[in-house]
Amino acid sequence: MKLPLLCAAPLLAAFGFSTSGFASQEDEAMIRRMENTWIQASMHQDRDTLNALLDDSYRGVTPSGATRSKLDVLSAPPAPAGSRQILRELEIHVDGDRAIAIGESQFMAPDGQQVLFAFADDFARQDGQWRVVGSWVTRR
């Protein structure tokens, strides 16, 4: 009797993962949208959007190694007019109510200079809503 149960366990686990896999795909799409929204909100210093994206506990590490709180992000000046920023190589991994987005961000200044950054953003789902709880950025 134990042998059929042992054989069925991988099959049951596969069905469990496929159900969470569907939720994970939806969550991955949400995190991707949030990453793109975050880029735009940062470029234009859209404080309302940034406030909605970032958890109150947010802590980030800048390329210089300094830490930033949510308040620091909300009070930062906007990017120079005419600059652009795009996401590249974005990978998202969801594990239940936690997720991480890893990728590169290319910043292009109005004078044509470009800088490439690598980043990792930590997300947590709280009360059904995803929020950014931490980030780490380094210059490539």
Two tokens, residue 24: 């994970």
Measured in whole angstroms, the distance separating CA 67 from the mean position of its chain's CA atoms is: 17
| Cα 41 off chain centre by | 14
Residue that the structure tokens 């795009």 belong to: 86
Domains of the chain, first to last? 2-139 (3.10.450.50)
pLDDT digits (tens, 9 = 90+) for 53-81: 999 999 999 999 999 999 999 999 988 99
User: Could you count the other beta carbons within 10 Å of the beta carbon of residue 121?
Assistant: 23
Distance CA 109, CA 96 (A): 38
List pLDDT tens digits, range 98-133: 999 999 999 999 999 999 999 999 999 999 999 999
pTM of full prediction above 0.85 = no
Q: What is the pLDDT of residues 12-51, one digit of tens each?
A: 343 344 344 556 899 999 999 999 999 999 999 999 999 9
Is 61 within 8 Å of 67 (Cβ atoms)?
Answer: yes
Would you state the pLDDT for residue 78? Answer: 87
